Amino acid sequence: FFFRIYFSTVSMWKWVSGHKNPRPEGSKLTYGIDDIPPLAMSLFLGLQHYLTMVGATLSIPLILADPLGVKDPADVAELMSTIFFMSGVVTLLQTTVGTRLPIVQGGSFAFLPPAVLICAHPDLKEAAWQERLRTIQGAFIIGSLLEMFVGFSGVMGILLRLLSPVSIAPTVALVGLSLYGVAAPKAGTDWLLGGLTILFIITTSQILPRTRLEHTTFGRFCRLFPVLGSLVVIWFLAGILSAAGYYKKGDPGFTDFSSLERVPWIRVPYPFQFGWPIFRADAILGMLAGFFASMCESVGDYYACARLVEVRPPSERMVNVGIGMEGIGCLLAGIWGTGNGTTSYSENVGVLGVTRVGSRHVVQCGAILMVMMGILGKFGGVFATIPGPVVGGLWCAMFGMIAAVGLSSLQHVDLDSPRNLFVIGFALFMGLTLPVEIQAHPIKFEGAPTWSSILNVLLSTGMTVGLLCGAVLDNIIPGTDRERGLHGWKQWEGADEQQEEPYHTWLCRKLFCCCRGSPPQPAAQEMSRVPSHNPASEAHEDPVDAENRRPTECSETANLSPRECKPEV
């Protein structure tokens, strides 16, 4: 289905020989969003996107393995293969019929705190790891339906009008801060490997790229792959020490490749491979905080990506479509049993700026590589042998960065305002302290154990507490839009929604013509900030794109207002 959609839009010869539209004057991109680099270059650039997201994606099943109770590396390999497979499928969906921006979709750390709490539920303490995973699956399936509704109905656009960076920043920051209890203990099982991992990540990501090596091949490699490079180096060191007898079997730092013999070469993930999902009200409600944090993070990625690839900012309607497609991705992830959802990857958005390649076809090549790696069972089996202390050191570096990324949205906020300082500080403090207190002294309502369990899960999730405190105080305490940072955050309010059509193909208009927002209209220009008529580009124009350029009822030539414009059905 996905390949039929794609190859009906782009001719096969363009994939082999490449296709490049004339760039607008002043453009800094080597390849624009509609350009197609030659096949060999597309595969290489797609591999770079894959390698950029592989470190964060591998961390998710490694983090979940302990709370789930997965002891066999072969089972961890199955989780890894599944999450890579679904990341590729959802990336193809988003770049083909979603926002069509070159954004990679993958697992999110925002879903980890609720998942860890679900695994620690008293009713699941004696359960097998598959039962815990199926409970998480049920929470994702129901939560994804809500995310689809929030996106396709336009509720996301309405909700974002009630929020500001003052309430969103603590919520996203608490994703990293709430996981402090699992990082240091994991690295502390062997501080030699854990400490070296932290040291290597700091050196390769922050120090070397700012020295004379910055413009060398080694410096560029360190800037692009600091996590993956550090992981491989310390992992290789652990293997040498294990082979030399320094680490014995059973030691935390011991590297054991014997489990690879039980992992098949080819394994295609399939729906409900770990069993039918289990639906629990407390688990579902607890996971909703992760969904909301993920949605807010994705909205920021859409605007950052549009700016880097030199296209107009997406309108409110296209933001709704993107969130709805991420809901479909989370639904598929829940059905396949990844133990996590899908969201936009900020790391890969940064790659667009570094490489100056904004082609969506490059990201689609990377998505195909993700699917292939998900089918190769041995690939996941190899990474499942990473020693625990190395993973713990990786967490110490990454969780702090996640917290900082959340706080970075405060750049538009007036931090001299006592109002803002109080809201941010109170939300962060309550998001850290209240979950600890609830876990130590759970709420108990006599005669209502279900409601007690629901409240305990909700109030034990730092993101939920931080979001509630921040959003309520931010809306009831008076403050100007500039003071709250809304002038730099809600860019779509000043954008012309009648110019959103470059995000559409003919198929997208047919699929999402009923989405809430301004009605779709056929494209009258290329996907650039400054539309221009270029006969040279029209000579090589794709037939489907030419069809989209013809004026219809909803085009600018029809001279209709948004209320009068009726989309084709």
Rounded to whole angstroms, the Cα distance separating 377 from 260 reads 9
Which helix (H) or strand (E) covers residue 399, if one does? helix 388-407
Mean pLDDT, the chain, as a whole number?
76
Judged against a pLDDT cut of 90, whether residue 426 lies above it is answered with: yes
Is the distance from CB of 369 to CB of 47 less than 8 angstroms?
yes
Tell me: the pLDDT tens digits for 384-400? Answer: 677 878 878 877 877 77
Judged against a pLDDT cut of 90, whether residue 422 lies above it is answered with: yes
For the chain, counts of helices (H) and of strands (E): 26, 2
Write phi, then psi, for 448 (nearest 5 degrees).
Answer: -140, 65
Q: What is the mean pLDDT of residues 299-325?
A: 81
Confidence of residue 423 (pLDDT cuts 50, 70, 90): very high
Rounded to whole angstroms, the Cα distance separating 175 from 169 reads 10
Tell me: the pLDDT tens digits for 47-85? Answer: 767 766 776 787 788 888 888 888 877 788 888 889 989
Q: Residue 53, CB half-sphere, CA atoms under 13 Å: how many?
A: 33
Q: What is the mean pLDDT of residues 452-473?
A: 80
Q: What is the mean pLDDT of residues 283-304?
A: 79
Q: What is the mean pLDDT of residues 182-187?
A: 78
Rounded to whole angstroms, the Cα distance separating 299 from 303 reads 7
Q: Is 448 left (phi over 0), alpha (psi -120 to 50) or beta?
A: beta
Q: What is the mean pLDDT of residues 232-244?
A: 87
The residues near 204 (Cβ < 8 Å, ≥ 6 apart) are 222, 226, 229, 230
Is the distance from CB of 157 to CB of 482 less than 8 angstroms?
no
Residue 64 pLDDT: 87
Rounded to whole angstroms, the Cα distance separating 337 from 350 reads 29
Tell me: the pLDDT tens digits for 350-391? Answer: 667 656 777 888 889 889 988 988 888 777 667 767 787 887
What pTM value is reported for the model? 0.67
Residue 549 pLDDT: 46
Q: In this predicted model, which residue has the larger pLDDT, 114 or 457?
A: 114
Residue with tokens 């590396």: 73
Confidence of residue 200 (pLDDT cuts 50, 70, 90): confident
Instruction: Single out the residue of 55, 64, 71 nearest to residue 104, CA to CA.
Output: 55
Is the distance from CB of 43 to CB of 15 less than 8 angstroms?
no
Tell me: the pLDDT tens digits for 10-55? Answer: 544 455 555 555 555 666 777 888 888 888 878 877 876 776 677 6
Q: Is 495 left (phi over 0), alpha (psi -120 to 50) or beta?
A: beta
Residue 332 pLDDT: 94
Helix H, strand E, coil C: the string for 465-503 is HHHHHHHHHHHHCCCCHHHHCHHHHCHHHHCCHHHCHHH
Tell me: the pLDDT tens digits for 90-129? Answer: 999 998 888 888 888 988 877 888 888 888 888 887 788 8
**Which pair of tokens denotes residue 187?**
């690295």
The residues near 295 (Cβ < 8 Å, ≥ 6 apart) are 147, 150, 156, 323, 326, 343
3-state secondary structure of 499: helix
Is the distance from CB of 28 to CB of 309 less than 8 angstroms?
no
**Which pair of tokens denotes residue 43?**
């595969």
Residue 503 pLDDT: 53
Domain boundaries, the chain: 2-11+29-418, 492-556
Q: In this predicted model, which residue has the larger pLDDT, 26 or 521?
A: 26
Instruction: Single out the residue of 144, 111, 106, 109 nearest to residue 367, CA to CA.
Output: 106
Judged against a pLDDT cut of 90, whether residue 346 lies above it is answered with: no
Q: Any idea what DSSP says for residue 18?
A: -
Q: Residue 60, CB half-sphere, CA atoms under 13 Å: how many?
A: 25
Residue 4 pLDDT: 56
Write phi, then psi, for 13 (nearest 5 degrees).
Answer: -65, -25
Residue with tokens 């047919």: 510
Evaluated on CA atoms 76, 81, 85, 91, the torsion sign reads positive
Q: In this predicted model, which residue has the larger pLDDT, 157 or 488?
A: 157
